[in-house]
Amino acid sequence: MTRSVAASFAVLPLLLLACTGTTPPANQPGDVPSADAPAAGASSTADAEQIKRGEASLKSGDFQAARDTFQGIVDKNPSNARALHYLGVSLENLGDKAGAEKHYRLALEKAPELADATLNLSAMLIESGKSDDAILVLRAAIGKSPRDPGLRANLGHALADKKDNDGAAKEYKASLASADDPQVRLALASVLAAAGKKDLATAELEKIAAKADKRELLATIGDAFGRLGAFAQCAGAFDKAIALQPAAELHVQRGLCRHELKDEAGAKDDYDKAIKLDGSYAPAWYYLGMYWRGAGKTAEALKAFEKCKQLKPDSPHGKKAAERISELKKAK
């Protein structure tokens, strides 16, 4: 079970509606490495069997059972680094961050080469606002395994959290030199954008878009293109995402790209399609109202804004719709 920490385009001005949010990390809590991975410090077949049992509990989300299993192994064999690591995983998922950190560190004392423990420890430290500690842990591990892409990526995340965009970019590039991971390349694009290198950031996104074949990733790329002002590429990414599986929010996202490209007819077509797919999706009604307002069609605009307000009165779009309604009525 290893993971990296997600990087995002939060540093850029929000332009498009959030569709998939920030890019998810390549591995999430609850992921478990192969049972074929060497059990560092294991001293018996019985330990190996117990580790497999504990892994099964982790995979099923039964973290209490996993904790009990790995605690039993560690009680009998305190040098079993894999069991110590998995005990840390179990404790972290149970909300015991201090216990998790303790056991990740104990695992690394027994087996400094155990990259899984370094990745999980560093990710937890970054998520807990302890990026300086994560940097120390990661640099020590990278000294032994300089080409490990996960270690270099997590160091990039830690440096990005410290606003060291140039340092983060260097680490992401080192990671990509060993393994071309679209999530790492997205993180690289993010820090390049944060450093004001929007052309370079756009080029990295184009590399991901050329190979992407998952709707969620394409939507994230499209959102990132939009935040960079690369609206043609933004629309192209959403074209591919919609072709895989249409969704109301994807049509609204593409509609916003088309609006920025002055393709108002195309934008309206997307808002209409969004409503056809999901008539309860309030943002589609809001942006349809904005289209009609721009076209000078007050009655149609009021109807769309009223529908948005009716569907989600307390949402950001519902509140904006109420403001637009007030403005249009005053202008009559």
For residue 129, give both structure tokens: 């606002």
Question: Are 58 and 30 spatial neighbours (Cβ–Cβ below 8 Å)?
Answer: yes
What is the pLDDT of the chain when averaged over all its residues? 89
Name the nearest CA neighbour of 89 among 41, 24, 32: 32
For residue 167, give both structure tokens: 């340092």
Q: What are phi and psi of 8, to 5 degrees?
A: -140, 175
Rounded CA-CA distance 301/309 in Å is: 12
> Is the pLDDT higher at 292 or at 12?
292
For residue 25, give both structure tokens: 């990390």
- The pLDDT of residue 16 is 23
pLDDT tens for 79-104 read 999 999 999 999 999 999 999 999 99
**DSSP, res 17:** P
pLDDT tens for 214-239 read 999 999 999 999 999 999 999 999 99
- The pLDDT of residue 165 is 97
pLDDT tens for 156-166 read 999 999 999 99
Name the nearest CA neighbour of 128 among 152, 155, 161: 161
Rounded CA-CA distance 319/328 in Å is: 14
Give the mean pLDDT of 57-76.
Answer: 96
How many Cβ atoms from other residues are within 10 Å of residue 2's Cβ?
22
Amino acid sitting at position 184: V
- The pLDDT of residue 271 is 98
Per-residue pLDDT for 43 more than 50? Answer: yes
pLDDT tens for 119-155 read 999 999 999 999 999 999 999 999 999 999 999 999 9
| Orientation of helix 149-161 relative to helix 182-194, angle to 10° | 30
> Is the pLDDT higher at 20 or at 295?
295
Name the nearest CA neighbour of 121 among 161, 160, 89: 89
Give percent of the chain above pLDDT 70: 87
**pTM of the entire structure?**
0.82
pLDDT tens for 252-290 read 999 999 999 999 999 999 999 999 999 999 999 999 999
Per-residue pLDDT for 22 more than 70? Answer: no
Quickly list DSSP for 96-139: -HHHHHHHHHHHHHH-TT-HHHHHHHHHHHHHTT-HHHHHHHHH
Per-residue pLDDT for 21 more than 50? Answer: no
